[in-house]
């Protein structure tokens, strides 16, 4: 059975309450690409797409859950992997 830490549980709650999700990559000094998506999975797809940009080099995109009040919660790849491994 998958165990979730207190931090994981706060992130899961942020996912439940999110107004939307973003995939973000910093290309360098003040240059960002931000893609807004309605679901975590769609944001993950957008992150993969952003990472294909030659300007990304080896940088990884970050996925955030955005609350209705604008608060952003970083969703780590470890948490996303745990959630994807759960049986339906």
Whether 47 shows a pLDDT value over 90: the answer reads: yes
Residue 88 lies in a domain: no
Residue 72 lies in a domain: yes
Tens digits of per-residue pLDDT, 29-45?
Answer: 888 999 999 999 999 99
Residue 1 lies in a domain: no
**Domain containing residue 49:** 6-83
CB of 64 within 8 A of CB of 24? yes
Q: Give CA angle at 83 (33, 36), nearest 5°.
A: 20
Residue 54 lies in a domain: yes
Number of domains in the chain: 1
Q: Give CA angle at 18 (29, 70), nearest 5°.
A: 50
Q: 44: part of which helix (H) or strand (E)? A: helix 40-51
**Pairwise pLDDT comparison (2 vs 33), residue with the higher score:** 33
Whether 88 shows a pLDDT value over 80: the answer reads: no
Residue 60 lies in a domain: yes
The pLDDT value given to residue 67: 98
Tens digits of per-residue pLDDT, 49-58?
Answer: 999 989 888 8
């Amino acid at each position: 059975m998958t165990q979730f830490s207190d931090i994981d549980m706060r992130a899961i709650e942020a996912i439940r309450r999110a107004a939307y999700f973003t995939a973000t990559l910093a290309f360098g000094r003040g240059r960002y690409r931000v893609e807004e998506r309605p679901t975590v999975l769609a944001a993950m797809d957008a992150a993969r797409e952003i990472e294909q940009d030659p300007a990304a080099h080896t940088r990884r995109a970050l996925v955030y859950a955005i609350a209705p009040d604008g608060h952003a919660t970083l969703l780590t790849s470890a948490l996303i992997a745990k959630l994807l491994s759960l049986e339906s």
